[in-house]
Amino acid sequence: MQKLLKTKTAWLSLISIISLVKVSFAAESLQMIEKIKNQALSDDYAYHQIEAITTEIGARPLGSAKELNALKWLEQQLTELSVGHLSKQPLKVRNWQRISASAQVISPYKHELVIESLGGSVATPAEGLEAEVIKINNFDHLNSVEADKLKDKIVYISRKLDEHSPAEDYLNMQRIRQKGAIIAANKGAKALIIRSQTTDKSRTAHTGAVRYHSNSPQIPAAAISPADADLLDRLFARNLPVALLINLQNSESRWVDTYNLIATLSADHSQNNPNKVVFIAHIDSWDLGTGALDNAAGIGIGLGIIKQLIQFQDKLKHDIEIVFVTAAQFNQLGIKTYIKHLNDKHIVVATEADLGGESIFRLDTNIDESALKLADKIHTLTTDLAIERGHNASGGATNTQHMLALDIPIFNWVQKTDNYFKYLHSANDTFDKISLESIQQNVATYSIFLFSVANEGLIFSNKVTEHEQPTETTVTQ
């Protein structure tokens, strides 16, 4: 679950409240940073924690017993790391559950399709739902097609994720998945199926959240595998009517208890220092795989950062908070709860890991312009990790996007996503796609970043910004 790069319009910084004071690091700091880097690059702890959570817990669907198991497991790891300060933020989330999904082409030729419900989808009748299928090319086509063409039909949206720039294209795809059922239902459709949103071409279906509108009918929504979408496309190319029987069984969501888990590396004089730096990773995953890329990787990286930095805790001028939030997959109620309780300390800068198990290749930021030199300086600490300096228009990630709205400065350490956009939200999101070397590079990068800010007591400007228009972002949920 992740939000990437890319704001459609650059924002205008109007006022800098606090300006930057310091852009160089003490020799002692640089020595510690070098030590942190070398240790992180040779430590397999984070990698093995990812192995452990995917092997011993597996999938962690929002609001499930497995999510609670994962939180307990995580608390145990944090205790073993001797984290002195752990806190929980209780909240209620919905616990939608998948039961079964099947689909058959019943004309013009019979085929079994590989299909999975979108997360949150209502069920079909027990006997399934049979209807003619209308092929829709993309989001604009869905919006513009006349309602009478969709009346009582199954709407099939054939749009593919662009395999050459999936991260950038994911924004368009999310819109289809999240809003497709609302628009189709308003035009009288009986169900929605989409091509799985992935760069993979295989026979595996990819889930992801669907949204409903309280004023619209709720229709069943599902994704078919890319190879099955190809098959449907070939059937449509024959200009024969296509009909499907789909059967999606899911349990209705109830509100259940869960919590965010927050580990704090407390600064030496934390009572006198009102500042903290924040690293975020989400604990919930989709149910089909074991949530390795999305987001056991982030959890492992978070644990790895703590292992690296806890030994330098007495050097910190700011607190470092490693925040494990829930509800990234549906509505980010976890980060919203965290934000609601932000009453004690000022967040100097926030970052999030949520793009899988590959290495970081670029630093994007969203900070006041007066802080750019400082960001560039911090970036130089990571250049030998093969990380470029990117732009200052980051939209944040799944959770940090909500902090951007509060003008909290954001560092977005962008990972390569060759695997991520192939396997996200599918049964293939498993541990074998995690690279030890890349996880080590991630832990080194975040550790250097968080330590340098907290050790030097750096302060970024809070921005008061005016957006030309609402920022659009790429959020994978």
Residues 409-428, mask of contacts with its own copies (x by CB under 8 A): -----------------xxx
Q: Is 55 in the site for its own copies (CB under 8 A)?
A: yes
- Could you give the count of Cα atoms lying within 13 Å of 229 in the half-sphere of its Cβ? 29
Q: Is 231 in the site for its own copies (CB under 8 A)?
A: yes
Q: Is 234 in the site for its own copies (CB under 8 A)?
A: yes
Q: Is 149 in the site for its own copies (CB under 8 A)?
A: no
Q: Is 58 in the site for its own copies (CB under 8 A)?
A: yes
Q: Which is nearer to its own copies, 235 or 322 (CB)?
A: 235
Interacting span for its own copies (CB under 8 A) from 29-37, 54-62, 115-123, 212-220: 54-62
Q: Is 297 in the site for its own copies (CB under 8 A)?
A: no
Out of 230, 243, 256, 370, name the contact with its own copies by CB under 8 A. Answer: 230
Q: Is 235 in the site for its own copies (CB under 8 A)?
A: yes
Q: Which is nearer to its own copies, 44 or 268 (CB)?
A: 44
Q: Which is nearer to its own copies, 202 or 331 (CB)?
A: 202
Q: Is 57 in the site for its own copies (CB under 8 A)?
A: yes
Q: Is 239 in the site for its own copies (CB under 8 A)?
A: no
Q: Is 434 in the site for its own copies (CB under 8 A)?
A: no
Q: How far is the CB of 39 from its own copies (least distance, A)?
A: 26
User: Side chain identity at 18, as an amino acid letter?
Assistant: I
Q: How far is the CB of 55 from its own copies (least distance, A)?
A: 5
Residues 274-293, mask of contacts with its own copies (x by CB under 8 A): ---------------xx---
Q: How far is the CB of 432 from its own copies (least distance, A)?
A: 5
Out of 28, 34, 44, 56, name the contact with its own copies by CB under 8 A. Answer: 56
The residues in 90-109 that bind its own copies, with binding defined as CB under 8 A, are 108-109
Residues at the interface with its own copies (CB under 8 A) = 51, 55-58, 108-111, 114, 201-204, 226-227, 230-231, 234-235, 238, 289-290, 426-428, 430-432
